[in-house]
Amino acid sequence: MRAKGDYMESNNGNKLASFLLAGALLLSGLLVLPTATGNPGPDLWISDFYEMDESPPPRTDTLYEVFLAWENGGDADANGVRIGIDDEDGNLMAKSDPINMGAGETGSLTLNITFDSVGEAFPVAIVDYDETVSEDDEDNNEYEGWFNVEPEIGIADVWTDLDIEETEAQAGQQMLLRF
């Protein structure tokens, strides 16, 4: 028990040291110094995959031209890269010649594919198809397309306006028309 008039001694030097130590610990937790650098490389992806403008709808067992756009968003070149297209079952439909893709470069190409069945088809375009390039991100190399494949044989209504003079053909006579 303290007697009246007894007071605790204070040591301002210890308080200051404690305060400075707490501040240093707080700052060390907020300050992050880089300790290693990454190894920047290529980063390849397909940015577009669609049918060519003004193309007829795709038909079964008929070559069909498709457009593909690619990008190398990485900091390094990728040489000898192939772009391939697989069907829904993973079977190869088409593969490009080797392409040199410079760092930051974009490009495009067309490939011909053939559909085996009528209806909706979801082929997958894959950049670095042969997996020869080590990339920063290997999870963005695929692009799924959508196509509505129509049957090869169908019925079409064709209308034309003919102006035949009486002297050129008789009623009931067969004629050869060329379009």
Going by pLDDT thresholds of 50, 70 and 90, the confidence category of residue 58 is very high
Dist. CA 71–CA 44, nearest whole Å: 6
pLDDT digits (tens, 9 = 90+) for 105-137: 999 999 999 999 999 999 999 999 999 999 989
Average pLDDT, whole number, for the chain?
83
Statement: the pTM of the whole predicted model exceeds 0.85: no
The residue type of 138 is E
Dist. CA 82–CA 124, nearest whole Å: 14
Residue-range domains of the chain with CATH: 44-149 (2.60.40.10)
Q: Assign residue 97 a region (left: φ > 0; alpha: ψ between -120 and 50; beta: otherwise).
A: beta
Cβ contact 127:105 at 8 Å: no
Task: Kindly give the pairing relationship between strand 92-95 and strand 83-86.
Answer: antiparallel
Dist. CA 133–CA 170, nearest whole Å: 72
pLDDT digits (tens, 9 = 90+) for 77-101: 999 999 999 999 999 999 999 999 9
* Per-residue pLDDT at 131: 96
Residue 15 DSSP one-character state: H
Q: Taking the CB of residue 56, how many other CB atoms lie within 10 A of it?
A: 10
Task: At 44, give phi and psi (nearest 5°).
Answer: -100, 140
Per-residue pLDDT for 152 more than 60? yes
- Owner of token pair 């050869």: 176
- Owner of token pair 């060519």: 52
Q: Which residue has the higher pLDDT, 168 or 46?
A: 46
> Six-digit token pair at 84?
């391939």
Per-residue pLDDT for 53 more than 90? no
If you write DSSP's letter for every residue of 25-92 in order, what string do you get? HHHHHH-------------EEEEEEEEPTTPPPPBBTS-EEEEEEEEE-SSS-EEEE-EEEE-TTS-E
